[in-house]
C-alpha cells in the first residue's frame, strides 16, 4: 500500500544536493530509494517552478515509464491545495498549467537533441549500452551548456563506462603539489554523492549477511558497496 515518503538522512542530503548544484552524479547501492527520491524531487520542481522542462531518460522505454509512474503516483497522492493543474497526463508525460512539463523517454543517441531542458535526469546510466551512452552524452552536451541542470544516478557496473567516467571526473582535483583542491565539484563540474547500504539506518550486518552469501563477495561489493572491479570509493570524500 501507500507509504508516506519520510526521508532518511542520506536521502535529504541527495535532495539538498540536487537543488544546490547544477550537476550531480550519485553512485548508490541497490535498494536505497534513489529513483523514488529523484522522482519526488522532480515533481516538486515541476509544480513549484514555472516553465520547468524535465527530461527523464532510462535504458529502455519501459524503465522510463516506470519512473514516470512514480511521478504520477506521487502527484495523485498530493493534497489538492498544492497540486498544479495537469493539462496533459499520459503514459510518458505530464504537463502542468504553470508551463512545466516532465517527459520520459528511452535513452538513444539523439534523446534530448534539440530540446529545451531545465533538468535532465538519467537513471542507471552505467547499464546503458556503451555505444548509446557515449553518443547520447555527446549529443546532450550542447543542451546542458546553455544552463540546463543534470542529475545522473546509478549503481556501478564497470570501471570504464560513461557513468564511471563522469564519476571519476567528479572527484576532487589535485593541485601541482599533490594537495586536494578545496572545491565542492570535480573538474567536470559534477558534485559527487556516494551512498552504500551502510547509510540506511535500518540495515546492519545481519541484514547484509544473506545478500553477501547468495551473491558472493564480488557481486555484493558491486551491488551494495559501490565497488566496481578494482575501483574502490573513498567514502571520506563523499560524506
Active site residues: 124
C-alpha to C-alpha distances, 30 to 33, 34, 164, 223, 230, nearest whole angstrom: 8, 9, 17, 6, 19
Strand, helix or coil at 19? helix
Rounded CA-CA distance 23/190 in Å is: 5
Rounded to 10 degrees, the C-alpha dihedral 214/219/220/221 comes to 160
Quick count: other Cβ atoms within 10 Å of Cβ 40? 18
Find, among 215, 223, 196, 189, the residue nearest to 24 by Cα: 189
Cell (9 digits) for 16: 539538498
Cell (9 digits) for 199: 547509510
Sign of CA dihedral 1, 12, 238, 34: positive
Rounded CA-CA distance 234/85 in Å is: 45
Rounded CA-CA distance 119/117 in Å is: 6
Amino acid at each position: 500500500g501507500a507509504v508516506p515518503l519520510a526521508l532518511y538522512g542520506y536521502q535529504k542530503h541527495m535532495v539538498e544536493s540536487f537543488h544546490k548544484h547544477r550537476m550531480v552524479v550519485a553512485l548508490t547501492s541497490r535498494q536505497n530509494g534513489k529513483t523514488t527520491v529523484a522522482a519526488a524531487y522532480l515533481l516538486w520542481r515541476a509544480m513549484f517552478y514555472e516553465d520547468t522542462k524535465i527530461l527523464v531518460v532510462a535504458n529502455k522505454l519501459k524503465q522510463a515509464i516506470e519512473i514516470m509512474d512514480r511521478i504520477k503516483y506521487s502527484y495523485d497522492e498530493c493534497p489538492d491545495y498544492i497540486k498544479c493543474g495537469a493539462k496533459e497526463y499520459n503514459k510518458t508525460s505530464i504537463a502542468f498549467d504553470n508551463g512545466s512539463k516532465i517527459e520520459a523517454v528511452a535513452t538513444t543517441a539523439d534523446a534530448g537533441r534539440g530540446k529545451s531542458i531545465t533538468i535532465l535526469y538519467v537513471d542507471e546510466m552505467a547499464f546503458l549500452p556503451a555505444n548509446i551512452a557515449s553518443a547520447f552524452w555527446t549529443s546532450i552536451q550542447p543542451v546542458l551548456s546553455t544552463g540546463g541542470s543534470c542529475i545522473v544516478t546509478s549503481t556501478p557496473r564497470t570501471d570504464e563506462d560513461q557513468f564511471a567516467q563522469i564519476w571519476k571526473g567528479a572527484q576532487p582535483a589535485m593541485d601541482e603539489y599533490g594537495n586536494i583542491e578545496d572545491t565542492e565539484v570535480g573538474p567536470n563540474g559534477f558534485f559527487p554523492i556516494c551512498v552504500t547500504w551502510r547509510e540506511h539506518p535500518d540495515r546492519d550486518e545481519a541484514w547484509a549477511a544473506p545478500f553477501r552469501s547468495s551473491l558472493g563477495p564480488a557481486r555484493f561489493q558491486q551491488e551494495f558497496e559501490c565497488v566496481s572491479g578494482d575501483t574502490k570509493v573513498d567514502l571520506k570524500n563523499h560524506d
